[in-house]
Structure 1
Amino acid sequence: MLKTGDRIGDWIIESPLGEGGMGAVFRVHSALSERVDAALKVMKPSLEPDARARFVREAEALSALRHPAIVRVMGFSEDTRRGLLYLVMELAEGETLKRRLERGPMPLPEALATFVPLAGGLEHAHAEGISHRDLKPSNIVLTPDGPCLVDFGIAAAAQSGDLTGKGHLGTLSYLPPEVFRGERAEPRSIDVYGLGLLLNEALTAVHPFPLEAGLTPAAALATVGMRKLQQPALDPGETAPEPLRKLIRAATSPDPRTRPDMALMHRVLASLLERRGGAAAPAAAGAESPRVPAWSPPPDRTMRVPDPVSPIGSRTGSTTSSHVRRRFR
């Protein structure tokens, strides 16, 4: 698609950072100065007739997000000669959460210091009508300045309808159970479930829905779907404070109607951090861990789940799940 030295807009390609279901990401520098770095995401061409208009709507919405825990969109444009739409984002560098968890679970203070800003960033995005919809460890970067959410490449704006057309885009292991029941999941509820799953994974360093290598997309869908439909709400265990266990159980509930919203998740996590005399600080501060690009190629690829998914062990049909606010004590 693009190679080192190519110019696209005002940017020069330096090297690839990764490739996902929606596009490829490159490290770039300004055509005027090699000291100005950024990440440039080139969207894969789409045959859908409204793809360009939808890209513009989403890029406009993402450009309006301003939060320390969300990678900033610096601009977007179109390379008409190549027929490529692209986003330019700040370059977030640090250790990904995926790499961090390879060393073991996070102690409670580190987990809270990491997830309070993340929940705050997602609360901000939801308030602006934007949902991420692809939360996973490789999309969270632990920068020296704190955790940062990257790759809103399949984000959904409330005013733009169904961004992905027919089906759900996401990473199978982190999609909520209602997707596998053939329901159309509410985007904010997808984020709530994903953050709850990630928090549980951070505290335990165990992912409950691993995918074996070599599975075909259909086999992976069936395997994860069966596990999702059989798995009750997640629980990190007795070593975690009871309010945190309750929050994770609520966020990962199989019933999306009983999940909290992101604002409530943020408040509960911030309260737990405050009670322990902590503050939301850079989670990777002082850690002698390898610095890696924000978009190192992840093995957990984003893919499309057909919608409706043929329910596994349940009635065939499609229902619309609703998102309700739940009081949490």
Structure 2
Amino acid sequence: LTGLTAVASQEGVAAGTLDAIATELGTLARRVYGARRRLGLPADDRAADLEAAVRAIETVLAARGASLDEAIAASIDHARASLPRALAASIERVLVWLARRPVEHADHISTTPLEVVLPGWVPLSRLLGTFYVVRPIGRGAGGSVLLGVRADQRGRPDRELVALKVPDYSGDAARNLSEHEFERLFREEAGALLALPEHANLARFITFDASAQPKPLLAMEYVRGTNLERTLESGDLTTERALAIIDNLLAGLEAMHAVSIAHLDVKPANLVLRDATGDAVLVDFGLAGRRLRAGCGSAFYGAAEVWMENAGTTEPFPTDVYAAACVAYEVLTNSVLMSGDALQKVIDRHFASQPAADTLAKLDRTPHLAPLAELLRAAVSRDPKRRPTAARLRAGFAAIAPDLRRLRWPIAQ
């Protein structure tokens, strides 16, 4: 969308640009729809309508001289209905701006390709330490995640893609730490990943460069595949597959905990289903380390101790188990275990004497789901010391899996 605003006229829009934008907006609209469904909020899948409306703009532009008003109005309406308000407003501004561009002959117009928008601190050379930045992947816990390659392999067809995690000193971090302290903690915890074992369910550790400029960086294997969050949004699962994902997640955590490293940000977005094998692989180790820190984790999956100022006094491994149990419930039911119509209400649920008591009580009332409720109840105990280890939780799921496999996914609906 940013690149679209660089064109000098309507004819300056490169062929395929709006088609690509339509695909991305449709994907985002489907993610919004899936997220609202899992949260129990009203949801209406308008992704296909949004895609068609945006593609219609390209058709109108190709007709040369036809009015854009109707196509743009339809796109704006569908964006408002299917996307977050702020994003829909941004799309509206860009499309209205496009409608006001002059109409000229294409022969006299030079097109401007869509540019990848990198964080402002990335050097013009795109070099971070010994790595060359290809494009942004997204934002993870505590920092930016960039796709990169080793600088000396840029031109090689067999180059290895890596995920570069770089600390990002945000407003949330500023409430607790100075920027110097924030980067020092990043260095300490990332250095602990030297002990991370090679495991089928863990992204491979490549290197940690504490002296890279302008920021230290953590390089991990880039796992090709779809993350679990998007898989859940598409509804493309079976109970057998869901159980395999849970086992993969717990196997990865078991391997990490065996070398005294906790992940500390377990959630569906940080589990990628590897294209080559189908294995669920834990990624984004930006918060991983040997101790718990205030603010580690995410609202729907972070145990009560995550949100407490004295978080550092608690063992970190039960926090992973708590989050894994929340993910396990979501994988099996396609709905979140801790729900609420505002983030603070979601976080408040973690502080209950027995988190998710009402939801688990519903499982108890179905005889063949009572063992699952019992297992999850122990794993999300308010007291970290009462939670099972990742190994024991994995064994518990293996014991009840034969009965669960007979149920249609999503279960408990």
* Fold equivalence (TM over 0.5): yes
Q: 1:198 aligns with which of 312, 323, 327?
A: 327
Q: 1:141 aligns with which of 272, 276, 297?
A: 272
Q: Which amino acid aligns with 1:193?
A: Y
Matched position secondary structure for 2:234 = coil
1:68 offset after TM fit, Å? 1.3
CA distance in 2, matches of 1:182, 1:78: 27
The 5-angstrom pairing of residues 317-328 of structure 1 reads none
Quick check: 2:141–2:286 contact (8 Å CA) kept in 1?
no
1:2 matched to which residue of 2? Answer: 122
Q: What stretches of structure 1 of length at least 5 have no aligned partner?
A: 279-329
1:78 offset after TM fit, Å? 3.6
With over 3 angstroms needed to count, the CA separation of the structure-2 counterparts of 1:74 and 1:240, relative to structure 1, is: farther
2:303 matched to which residue of 1? Answer: 176
Q: 2:208 aligns with which of 76, 83, 93?
A: 76
Q: 2:147 aligns with which of 11, 27, 49?
A: 27
Matched position secondary structure for 1:170 = coil
Greater fraction of residues in strand: 1
Q: Which amino acid aligns with 2:139?
A: E
1:241 offset after TM fit, Å? 5.0
Quick check: 1:73–1:90 contact (8 Å CA) kept in 2?
yes
Count of aligned positions:
263
1:294 matched to which residue of 2? Answer: none
With over 3 angstroms needed to count, the CA separation of the structure-2 counterparts of 1:202 and 1:59, relative to structure 1, is: same
Matched position secondary structure for 1:174 = coil
Matched position secondary structure for 1:14 = strand
- With the length of structure 1 as denominator, give the TM-score of the two structures: 0.70
1:207 offset after TM fit, Å? 1.2
CA distance in 2, matches of 1:224, 1:140: 22
Matched position secondary structure for 1:253 = coil
1:96 offset after TM fit, Å? 1.0
1:271 offset after TM fit, Å? 4.2
With over 3 angstroms needed to count, the CA separation of the structure-2 counterparts of 1:148 and 1:3, relative to structure 1, is: farther
Quick check: 1:22–1:153 contact (8 Å CA) kept in 2?
yes
1:225 matched to which residue of 2? Answer: 347
1:227 offset after TM fit, Å? 3.2
Q: 1:65 aligns with which of 183, 186, 196?
A: 196
Extract structure 1 runs of 4+ deviating beyond 4 A. Answer: 48-53, 178-183, 239-242
Matched position secondary structure for 1:58 = helix
1:156 matched to which residue of 2? Answer: 289
Q: Which amino acid aligns with 1:259?
A: R
2:137 matched to which residue of 1? Answer: 17
Q: 2:261 aligns with which of 130, 143, 148?
A: 130
CA distance in 2, matches of 1:11, 1:183: 37
- With the length of structure 2 as denominator, give the TM-score of the two structures: 0.57
Greater fraction of residues in helix: 2
User: Could you say which structure has the larger radius of gyration?
Assistant: 2
% of aligned pairs identical? 32
With over 3 angstroms needed to count, the CA separation of the structure-2 counterparts of 1:254 and 1:106, relative to structure 1, is: farther
CA distance in 2, matches of 1:105, 1:205: 10
Quick check: 2:375–2:393 contact (8 Å CA) kept in 1?
yes
Cα RMSD over matched residues?
3.0
Q: Which amino acid aligns with 1:225?
A: I
CA distance in 2, matches of 1:94, 1:265: 26
* 1:43-78 alpha-carbon deviations (Å, 9 max, x no partner): 125735555554343223213212211111100114
CA distance in 1, matches of 2:308, 2:186: 29
With over 3 angstroms needed to count, the CA separation of the structure-2 counterparts of 1:141 and 1:80, relative to structure 1, is: closer
